[in-house]
Structures are given as C-alpha cells and as structure tokens.
Structure 1
C-alpha cells in the first residue's frame, strides 16, 4: 500500500440481499412441489414476451384472489376478498429496490495474492449466475419450486393446493412460495432497518403475501428465469455462516462453483429449507437423508435417471469440518496480520467510503471491494523471520520492522514479533503495533536532528568535544538516579569520549555530540523537521533535549516513513 495516498479499491458488484435465517426449521413457507416438472431452457430461461401482457389480468387475479384463498381459515372471507381484489393488488408498489448483495472484500498483495478477506455479518462472495452449473440450478428447482420455469412468479397450482390444506387444517400450514417470491422476501429483509420492518418482511400476513406476489410478478416481467435463479442462489443461506452458493461450495467442498458435482449440488439444494436441521458439519446423517430426497426428486422430474440418482446416493457426505471458520477475523490468519489491520483501519477512516463510521464499516466489510496494496510477500516473510529471530514472540520486549520503498512511500512489509489476534497465547495483542502503538525510536531519531542541522547550514565538518557525560545548560536534566551522570547526558560507552565531526559522530551514534548539535540547531527546528518528515506533532508534545536520542515514543511506521 502506498503511504499517505488513497487505497485503490474496486467494488465487485452483485445483486440481491441477505438471508437472516428466518427460513430455518419450519418457520419458512413450505414451497410448492409435486406435479409438472420444471426444466431448464436453452434460451437462458427467458419465456417469450409475446402474450405476456395479455396474461397480466389472469396473474393479477390468481395473485390476489389465490392468496386470499390461502388465508381463508384465518380471516373473514368477505373482508379478505375485498382487500385482495385486483384493484388493491395493482395499487401496490411493483418496483423492488435491490441494493447490492453484502459480500466480502479482499486485500491483495502487489503480486495479486490474497492477504486477507474482510467480512461483515454475512460471509458471501457473489458469483456470476452464468457460472452456476446446470446441475445446481436443476437441484434447487427440483426441491424448492418444480414449476419455476412455467409460472409467472406466483404458482397458481401451488396456491390452490396450499389453500386446500390450510382450509383442512384450520390455519396456515403452507405458503406456496416460489423461488421468485423467496428472493423477494429476502430483498425485503435486507432493506429492513428496524425490528418491526424485519418482522413485517418475515411475517405471514395477507398484506405481506400480496405485496410479495406483486413484486414477484413484476420481476418475472423484467428478468429472465435464470437471472432470477442466479440472484436467488447468491442470496440463499447455506448454514455455517455461508451466504450464497459460491461461498458454500468453497467452504464446504473447497471447490469453485463451476466444479460442483451432482451429490454436492443436491446437498446444497437441500440445505436452504433448514440450514441448521440439515447441517452437514454437525448433522451429516440428516444432511444425507435430505440430499437423497433432492436426488430422488430430480430423478422424478427427469433431470437425472434413477440409475444416476442411485449412484449419487451411494456417495458419502464429505464436507470440510471447519466450514464455519471463515467467520473469524481474517487478519488473524493472514500472512501479514498487522499490515492487514493497518489497511482496514485506513479504510474505516476514509471519508470517501462513507460519512459515518457505520457506513464506512458496511462498505469495507460488505461492499465487495478489491483492495490492491504494495506489500511484497517475499519481503514480508523475510521481515517477519528477522524480527522473530532477533527477539522471540514470547519475549516481553517488542521488535518491529516496517519496510518502505524510498521515493514512492510504498509499504513493502510490516512485521512485529507478536501473534496478532484474540485467541493467541501470552504476550499477544490485537493492537496494530506498527501503526498506533508507540515505541522509543532511540538513536534512529538522530538522523532527524542531522537533517535539521544540515538545513540550518551546519556542515559535515562541524566538530564538538563529546565527553562521556555532558551537562547541558540549555536542556538541563536531573534523573535523581544517583548515577555519576544523573544531571547530564551520557554516551552508550565510556570510551566514546573525544572530538568528533558529524560523519564519525553519526556512524558511532555519539549521544553527547548530538545533544550539543541539538543545542546549536534548537529543539523547535528538530521538531519541525520531524513533523515535515511525517512524525505527527502530537507524539512530540513537551519534548526536551533528550528528543534527539529517542526519548519520545512514536509509531514505527511514522519513523520508517520519515526515513
């Protein structure tokens, strides 16, 4: 990443919204199945537009009156039919606001390799609908909405069947939701900002069902079937923190979406009805039973032959046990954890990503950004090995190394002899040490005094007698420690006393030379030089004569940037 410049971030886009788990464990609608096969269509699922508008009246009637029948056991028939009339239906909003799907952002190194993935509440990577294999689309249609390719957003037969069952049961047992309606429901859930709005979006009221149907019919008139199906598969929740079929394929099977096998696709399709009940990580037997139901249904509808279904059912359920691990802080498992945290902090403070902290956090963790940085993985590995070798991570003393490319400000590496994160052993920290934690820079600060002196006109031949202990009248001190130099500044080694010119004094890092040079230049000039080189003034408040020998703690990143 380039120091003091804007990060290059690229949104990956995407459609749809989030699933909040309301479809789990029987709370969701029981979707229409049985009779009439679905089936892919070689034209991307787009039905012919001709004649569609002439059928709107029929769709309106079935969407309104059909849904009214669905709720007959609960509401007075006279009032219900009035409310569900075609006029009322057409008066409802038809344009559904579909903000981009929340999806993870990625931080990339200079060579394009992945440094970390930043996630919000939903771990999702949106995939192109065209990349979703036929077997996955057929599996979800078979088990969730077998008439998907023939209905207009509302399944008339499903509504009638569900209404009959509800009438017999005396309450709402089935909701007859199509895949299009399920997609609409989850968009409404994503758009909800209050508890009441979420309850309304997930509720079973007649008004909600009619509005859902209105949106569904409108979507069917503007999108192809496969576009709707792609959006649904990107929005659906597949358990263990996996939102979207692409994320589920990667985390459960470690395969890309295009490489899903028939048994894998059937298992994922079976999950959406109840991700917790059919969880393949914690309930593999239930997951297998559900998967086989999907396979049998695919065979029944003619998507696969019974023999192919039998072969697939003989395949054991094999998933990655750590499928839920992706929900943790990705910086903790990054090859450059402190750099990752630094990048994240920079983004969260960038007003270009939002005017409020909440807006910026949503953009960073759910905006699908691609964040390209200047980190060099080989340099990073070498820096980390060096600090660990010099001072072990278990040592109370901290070692930090930041590598910045001269002339560009590009950060090439950022290493600390610490284990980043909340679940590590002793001496760990969640603080981004090179960026906000501060350390005394020691003799590295002398170079700033040197720059101030050269700028003030002092030449390389400037000489001082530099004793082992120097008592400064301008920057008097008294450490009250009882040492032989408690009221003066001492060299690191007693034998360093002597007459020095600037080059040798710098090479040997002679403290008493630099205190005298600072006296000549003046402390304000040294502070000003430090500020201009990138060391914030806030870290140098109340500085005294020992500033030049590194008494004031500053962030290592700022010192590296100053150099």
Structure 2
C-alpha cells in the first residue's frame, strides 16, 4: 500500500471512528466535546496549550527512551554494581525472539498487523459494552495503545504508582489521549521511511522493552534473566507465553506466589498462539499438537521465593568494591551527574578500579587491623601517577562496605571520608616543599635538631609554644635524613622560615583540596558561615599544622604522592575511565584539569628527599625489611598523631602511589596499638605509629602489585635543590 496509502487509511479510520464514537458518547453521556474535538481535529473548543501538551507527549513517546539500568564496571569491564529506578535493559528487535513477539500479539492484539495504531472494531465493541454497563471501562486497546499507556505510567515520572494510576484512569479523556498518541506514533514512524512491517516491529520491540514484570523488573531482557536465567532471544514458547500472560496482571499472575493461576493463563496464551497458526504456520493439526505439548511443560522458573533480582546501588557492590563505588557516585555528583540521572540513564560507567590492586589492598588492610577491630579503621587508597590523569586504582579498608556496624561494616566511604585526627608527620612534606621553594633550601643541607624548640612565631593558648621530639636524635642532620627520621623540632623551625601561609598553600596545591577548603576543623562538610580548615589554620596561626593535626583522608594523601611522582603535576583523583550511554555514545563529564602546581625540578628533588624512609634509620625501614620489600626505590613518609589516635604512611613508586590511614571510627576514640591493630585505652607511649601499622599495610598491598614489573628508578633531584 505504501506510506501514502497508510496515511489515507488512517484518515479514513479516524473519520469513521469519530462518527461512531460521537454517537455512542451521546448515548453514554460520558464523553464531552471539549475533550473530543482537540484530540481529533482541534476544532477550537479546547486551548492550543492543551493540544501542544499532547503533541509534546507524542514526541516524547516516539523519541525519548524509558529509564534503564546503569552498570558500573571495573577497568576490565566487569560489573561491580548496578543502579536503577527500573531494572530495564533496552534491546534491539533482533535481540528478542520471534516467539516472544508472537505470544504478545496472539493474546493482546491479534489484528496488530492490520490496524494503524487503533483497532476501531475493538473500541466499538468495548464502547457498546461500556454503554450497556453505564460506565467507562477498559477494552479494545491495541499493543500500540498499551505501549503508550505503559510509557506514560513508567517513563515520565519517578512516582511509578502515581504514574500508573493516571495511565489506567478509566475516563474518556484519558482514553482519547491514548488513542491520539498511538495514531501519532505509528504515523510518525511511517514518516521516518519505515515500511509498515518495520513500524510494527519497532512498536513491538518498544512495548516488550517497557512492560513491567514485578519487583522493579521491566522489559523482557531483565525478565528473561530474572525468571529463567536466559536471554530474550532464546525464550521458548512456554517461557514467552508466561511473560505474555503476565504483562497486564503481573501482580495477580506472579508465578512465585500464584503458580496455578500463572500456568492457567500461560496455557491460554499458548492456545491463542495455536489458534492463530503461530506455532507451525498453515498446519492447524500440528499447532494443536504442539500446544498440548507446551502446556504440559512446567513453568520452569528459577528456584526461590522471588526471581533473581538485580542488586541495586553500592550497598550491593560487595565488601571490597563498595567504598570505590560510593566514591564514583560522589565524584559524578560533583561533576553534575546526580543519582536520579544515573538511575534512569542506562549508562555504562567504566571505572579505573583495578580488581587486583583492590583485592591486595583489602587483604593487607585486614592483616594489620582485623575487620571487626572495635573503633579502628585501616583505610587504603592507591592512585596511579601520570601527567595527564591520576587514576584511582583501589579504595578499601579493613572494614567491609555494608550496613551492619555490629559486624564491623561501614556504609560510608572510609578511604575518602575525612578523619579529624589528622595524619601526623606526613605533613612535614609540605613544610619541606615550601621551604625549598620560598627560601632556596637544599635537600642535602644540614638542619638543626634541638631536643625541644620554643617558637618565636607560633603561640600556645597560655603563652609560648614549645614542641619536643618523640625520640633522641643527633643535634643536626641533612634535610633528607630529617624527613626519614622525622624530628618535630626541625620542621617547626622550618615552618617559621617558610611562612605558615606558604606551607598551607603548598599542601593545597599538592593535593589537599577538600581537606583544606571543603571541610571544617572537625572534618565535616562546610555549611554557610563555617570556616574552612584553611582559614582556621591561618586565622589561629596554627604552628602545629606541620605536625599533621588537621582533617585529611587517605585518598588525598595518596594523590599528594601521585603529584610528586608526576613531576609536580596535580590531577584530580579520577575514578572514571569513560561513560557511555545506552546507544554506546560517549558521555562527557566535567573534571578539573590537571595543573603544574610546582616546578618539576622541585618535585623531583622532593622525591629524592623522601627516598630514604625505607632505608636504615628511616621510620618505615623495619616494615620494609619485614615484608621483604627489597631494593625497589620508593618515596615515603610516616606520621603519628598525639595519643596514637591515628597514624599514616604516604609512599609511592613510579608505578603506584598509595596512602594508608589508621584512625578511630567510632564515638569513643582511644589510643591505637599494633600487632594486631586495636584500641588500647589512652596512652602517651607504646601505641601504634605509622611505621608499625600503616607502613606494613602499604608494603603488603604493594609488593604483589609490583612483582614481575620492572624496577624503575626515581627521578634525579634538580641541582638547584640538591
């Protein structure tokens, strides 16, 4: 017939249907001209705005995809989590079996291939029946109309119950709107150059992609997986017939709660398929025989009390990957992609997560601090250095990610959550960097190491501020040795010379972005009127900043190491490799650009200055020997806070940068002791420090990641700083 013939047929059908409906409406007293006319011709009874609204809905139905399943994967493309408001995977026509399409047509609309979106005969029969009953009931809906109804119920609102209620409202206005949109849909698809069979196949595919199957399962792709453990292109006749039976009454015909009713309706569908010669074309006898054969088969659904439901959200990402998943969502939120968008968008989010790095880091974290250790978290972050990107490879903790606190689980992202206890002497890196940059210092110059030092610049609440060392040291040593051995007095004096603002600015530039300007002094996100840590440190002239007393997290510490190992190039610690939409098109995200925050020569010199921590006399030397680290060069710096309430280790090779932060994670903070990691009251000595709890964790995580990889030398110091 062609497109023109189709259009003429539609116009004739509309006119004929209008005349019949008008007559019936007068008899029924249900439909009014104010609803009818704008739908079918726009006779001016209703406002143009109402007509425009229907046109917009028609466009949406024809062009906008319904909500779909978003998948989060690791760097290899293996799924780690799913997000959805409706568990739906969109399929192409060739991914749905012909059997499934036949089953739906047989039971729902056996004249589907004869009409143009509306079955006027069916509508007339329904109208006569409704007129006889004195009410407006359902009936006569084609598959095209049912697609429209389901689209309006499930695709245009977040409130599925309210959307469904409106979509099935028994009113003439709703029915006529549905008719108008169904006619528009088939006409618009025909105008796109599709032949009549292509139009019908497109609508069948859309319908089978959108219909619900209970438990937030939508569309035959997920239904096939959840109910039968198969794919939509492999559905058998009994399986397809069950889905066709369920689509209009999924609750009443739930095969798990009402298997008898579901089978009875399934068998009706099979009989309809046989009646319409869909089992064996042009052979009524064989159709009947096959129907009896298929009806004798059991439902065959997967065992259990419900289908195989898809886990939803990071809480189901597992004990290892949950923290990373949470960071992905937070990162995308800040990039302008909120969770509502993710839960509806049908995206594939390929992350930078390295499953081997994650597993090894998890194993290492639990080996030094048991998973159920009361009040002690051991968080590990691993970032890959680079001058174009800093890819986050692992975010784990000794805790499992989960909601059961009594089992040692945590549902907040420990490696990226600020701890108010600080990171201790790791912050001496920032003082050193500022001193070298601002005062022209040298990494090999000798610095004084007095047993105590009273500052001429920084004050305590009750007068002069005096700081002491935690051990005995020579009266002087090179700046490189001072970083390895970590006397407090030396770095307070250097902080005075460099200037506190320069030290704090250096910390910000190297990577403590959120730690300094995103939280208050307790590590909580800023609210209007709150002072950031950055402002608090400067306003109070906080000399103890170099001793690492302000909030920080493991992720930002690891990114500091990555910045140093990348020649002074800071990049945001990104968990995203790429995002594609349901049509495999790349989705751009707004990420902060990389910045050359310090001169490359200064960065390389700092690397050399930090290269002795694992050697004899360094604070992590014992841990390096115990874990058989060998002679692979690293940078490193340990830290421990007052009363042993937290400790850390920042370290890196050219391949991986990482940080470990051990801290109290309950409401009753105490000192932390080592071997194994645990709370041990409140003490001033004998607790765990960076070298005997955080450093062993780092070496245990990193050693298997480097096994078999080439030993890469550290960059050489710039002569200006050497």
Matches of 1:285 and 1:423 in 2, distance apart? 39
Q: Aligned pair in 2 of structure 1 residues 294, 187: CA closer, same or farther (>3 Å)?
A: same
1:452 partnered with 2:437: no
User: Contact 2:136–2:172 at 8 Å: present in 1 too?
Assistant: no
User: Contact 1:73–1:172 at 8 Å: present in 2 too?
Assistant: no
1:562 partnered with 2:543: no
1:429 partnered with 2:393: no
Matches of 1:413 and 1:87 in 2, distance apart? 59
Q: Quote the residue 2:81 is aligned against.
A: 116
Q: Aligned pair in 2 of structure 1 residues 66, 131: CA closer, same or farther (>3 Å)?
A: farther
- SS state at 2:230 partner: coil
- Alignment of structure 1 residues 385-396 onto 2, 5 Å: 385-395=363-373, 396=375
1:370 partnered with 2:321: no
- SS state at 1:372 partner: strand
Matches of 2:26 and 2:398 in 1, distance apart? 68
User: Contact 1:153–1:178 at 8 Å: present in 2 too?
Assistant: yes
Select 1:332's aligned residue among 311, 316, 331. Answer: 316
User: Contact 1:165–1:174 at 8 Å: present in 2 too?
Assistant: no
User: Contact 2:448–2:477 at 8 Å: present in 1 too?
Assistant: yes
Q: Quote the residue 1:208 is aligned against.
A: 174
- Alignment of structure 1 residues 160-559 onto 2, 5 Å: 160-189=124-153, 190-191=155-156, 201-223=167-189, 224-304=199-279, 305-313=287-295, 314-319=297-302, 321=304, 323=307, 325-326=309-310, 328-334=312-318, 335-351=320-336, 353=337, 360-395=338-373, 396-407=375-386, 408-423=389-404, 425-439=406-420, 440-456=422-438, 457-477=440-460, 488-492=466-470, 494-496=471-473, 498-536=475-513, 537-538=516-517, 539-543=533-537, 544-559=542-557
Tell me how large the CA RMSD over aligned residues is: 3.1
User: Contact 2:94–2:233 at 8 Å: present in 1 too?
Assistant: no
Give CA deviations for 1:143-193 in whole Å, capped at 9, x if unaligned: 211211112211123223323433443434442111101112233344469
Q: Quote the residue 1:97 is aligned against.
A: 59
* Structure (1/2) with the larger strand percentage: 2
1:225 Cα deviation from its structure 2 partner:
0.2
5+ residue gaps in structure 1?
Answer: 1-46, 354-359, 481-485
User: Contact 1:540–1:552 at 8 Å: present in 2 too?
Assistant: no
**Bigger shift: 289-298 or 458-467?**
458-467
- SS state at 1:402 partner: strand
Matches of 1:430 and 1:209 in 2, distance apart? 47
Give CA deviations for 1:110-145 in whole Å, capped at 9, x if unaligned: 2222232222x2222211123111011111111211
Matches of 2:59 and 2:330 in 1, distance apart? 31
1:255 Cα deviation from its structure 2 partner:
2.3
- Alignment of structure 1 residues 147-162 onto 2, 5 Å: 147-162=111-126
1:267 Cα deviation from its structure 2 partner:
1.6
Q: Aligned pair in 2 of structure 1 residues 503, 249: CA closer, same or farther (>3 Å)?
A: same
Give CA deviations for 1:195-228 in whole Å, capped at 9, x if unaligned: 9987654322222222221221222223300101
User: Contact 2:353–2:392 at 8 Å: present in 1 too?
Assistant: yes
Matches of 1:59 and 1:533 in 2, distance apart? 72
Q: Aligned pair in 2 of structure 1 residues 318, 193: CA closer, same or farther (>3 Å)?
A: closer
1:470 Cα deviation from its structure 2 partner:
3.7
Matches of 1:88 and 1:487 in 2, distance apart? 82
Q: Aligned pair in 2 of structure 1 residues 298, 70: CA closer, same or farther (>3 Å)?
A: farther
User: Contact 2:365–2:378 at 8 Å: present in 1 too?
Assistant: yes
- SS state at 2:494 partner: helix
Q: Aligned pair in 2 of structure 1 residues 312, 389: CA closer, same or farther (>3 Å)?
A: farther
Give CA deviations for 1:442-493 in whole Å, capped at 9, x if unaligned: 222222222222223111233344344444343344799xxxxx9643433x
Q: Quote the residue 2:705 is aligned against.
A: none
5+ residue gaps in structure 2?
Answer: 43-50, 190-198, 280-286, 518-532, 562-722
Q: Quote the residue 1:54 is aligned against.
A: 8
User: Contact 1:464–1:516 at 8 Å: present in 2 too?
Assistant: no
Q: Aligned pair in 2 of structure 1 residues 271, 201: CA closer, same or farther (>3 Å)?
A: closer
1:239 Cα deviation from its structure 2 partner:
0.8
Matches of 1:251 and 1:330 in 2, distance apart? 20
1:258 Cα deviation from its structure 2 partner:
1.8
User: Contact 1:281–1:319 at 8 Å: present in 2 too?
Assistant: no
User: Contact 2:72–2:80 at 8 Å: present in 1 too?
Assistant: yes
1:514 Cα deviation from its structure 2 partner:
2.3
User: Contact 1:106–1:370 at 8 Å: present in 2 too?
Assistant: yes
User: Contact 2:431–2:503 at 8 Å: present in 1 too?
Assistant: yes
Matches of 2:465 and 2:36 in 1, distance apart? 94
Matches of 1:263 and 1:378 in 2, distance apart? 43
Matches of 2:213 and 2:21 in 1, distance apart? 28
Matches of 2:278 and 2:26 in 1, distance apart? 36
Whose RCO is larger (CA < 8 A, sep 6+)? 1
Q: How many residues align?
A: 500
Matches of 2:174 and 2:395 in 1, distance apart? 53
